[in-house]
């Protein structure tokens, strides 16, 4: 079990491992480009080398990429749809260069699309994204939270999309280099109606996850408390113990028996520079010590 946080790449991706160390991370997550748009900086040989050296010097062998915020595989605007496919593919390849373990993305939200077409349309876009990709950087779908026709906010839908992309229904064969994985965000899941406030509920939620998606696909957990209520369909991250999941819930997630080797990443607010994130990491480290 390892803990980390989403880390800034100010000054270049090569600085991320140093920023991660300063925040007390054992693993980390980052963007490789501006999350709001624009062309990414080239990953030159020198940048990759410095990044990898900084990882090695600080004993980081597990780190993740998050794709930009504007990804929408359900956009009816062709420019946005094409851009999403292109950017996620770029991030898989850029991450592969950097030795990233996996890259998670949100799927987007559907406007003006019949709800019955959502799974098909998403799968089509993912097939286009992954076609011919042979890298080791694994592709992850992140469970989402939000109002309207947000895509990927329930286990059944994620499972159905994966099934189509991997061609197990026989209709859309696509060769992915490895299985599609899932990133479970505790804040998003909670806001989407999956209770995580105590041991019983945590166990119920992950049993359901196992039955629909399969725990073998769960690669990493975003460990965030939630300012918004259960089933509120609002995405509002809170620092650990400061939200509606609460410390009991956080503890129940960490002590879930199947998570002994899980990577946990914080995306909680940085209120006071590194201080609040360090505090959250220390909470996780203390909980780990107290029970394993
Ligand atoms: Zn997340
Ligand atoms: Zn979120």
DSSP 105-128: E---B-SSS-GGGHHHHHHHHHHH
- For residue 142, the ligand closest to its alpha carbon is 1
Of the candidates 168, 165, 173, 157, which has an alpha carbon nearest to the alpha carbon of residue 129?
165
**pLDDT score recorded for residue 38:** 86
Is residue 169 pLDDT above 70, yes or no? no
- Indicate if 6 belongs to the active site: no
Of the candidates 238, 265, 270, which has an alpha carbon nearest to the alpha carbon of residue 253?
265
CATH number at residue 182: 3.20.20.150
- For residue 5, the ligand closest to its alpha carbon is 1
**CA–CA separation, 58 vs 3, rounded Å?**
14
Q: What is the pLDDT of residues 243-285, one digit of tens each?
A: 999 999 999 999 999 999 999 999 999 877 778 899 999 999 9
Q: Which of 60, 194, 237, 263 is catalytic?
A: 237
CA of 71 to the centre of ligand 2 (A): 14
CA of 225 to the centre of ligand 2 (A): 10
Q: Which of 14, 153, 185, 263 is catalytic?
A: 185
Q: Is 184 helix (H, G, I), strand (E, B) or coil?
A: strand
Of the candidates 62, 21, 66, 59, which has an alpha carbon nearest to the alpha carbon of residue 281?
21
User: Which string of DSSP letters, residue by residue, matches 222-240?
Assistant: E--EESSPTT-----EE-T
Q: How many domains is the chain built from?
A: 1
Q: Which of 14, 166, 267, 280 is catalytic?
A: 267
CA of 267 to the centre of ligand 2 (A): 8
- For residue 143, the ligand closest to its alpha carbon is 1
Range of the domain at 239: 2-291
Q: What is the pLDDT of residues 137-165, one digit of tens each?
A: 999 999 999 988 999 999 999 999 999 99
**pLDDT score recorded for residue 174:** 63
**CA–CA separation, 161 vs 149, rounded Å?**
15
| Residue 18 pLDDT level (bands cut at 50, 70, 90) | very high
């Amino acid at each position: 079990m390892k803990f980390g946080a989403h880390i800034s790449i100010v000054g270049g991706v090569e600085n991320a491992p140093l920023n991660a160390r300063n925040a007390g991370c054992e693993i980390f997550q980052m963007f490789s480009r501006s999350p709001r748009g624009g062309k990414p900086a080239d990953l030159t040989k020198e940048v990759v080398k410095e990044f990898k050296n900084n990882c090695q010097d600080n004993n980081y062998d597990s780190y993740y990429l998050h794709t930009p915020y504007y990804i929408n595989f359900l956009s009816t605007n062709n420019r946005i749809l094409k851009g999403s496919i292109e950017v996620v593919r770029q991030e898989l390849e850029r991450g592969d260069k950097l030795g990233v373990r996996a890259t998670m993305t949100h799927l987007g939200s559907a406007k003006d699309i019949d709800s019955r077409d959502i799974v098909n349309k998403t799968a089509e876009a993912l097939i286009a994204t992954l076609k011919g990709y042979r890298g080791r950087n694994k592709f992850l779908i992140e469970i989402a939270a939000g109002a309207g026709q947000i895509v990927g906010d329930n286990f059944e839908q994620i499972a159905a999309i994966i099934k189509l992309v991997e061609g197990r229904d026989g209709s859309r064969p696509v060769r992915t280099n490895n299985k599609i994985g899932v990133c479970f965000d505790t804040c998003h899941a909670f806001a989407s109606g999956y209770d995580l406030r105590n041991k019983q509920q945590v166990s119920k939620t992950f049993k359901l996850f196992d039955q629909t998606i399969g725990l073998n696909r769960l690669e990493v957990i975003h460990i965030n408390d939630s300012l918004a209520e259960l089933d509120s369909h609002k995405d509002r991250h809170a620092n650990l113990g400061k939200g509606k999941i609460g410390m009991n819930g956080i503890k129940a997630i960490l002590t879930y028996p199947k998570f002994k080797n899980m990577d946990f990443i914080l995306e909680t607010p940085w209120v006071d520079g590194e201080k609040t994130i360090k505090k959250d990491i220390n909470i996780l480290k203390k909980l780990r010590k107290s029970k394993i």
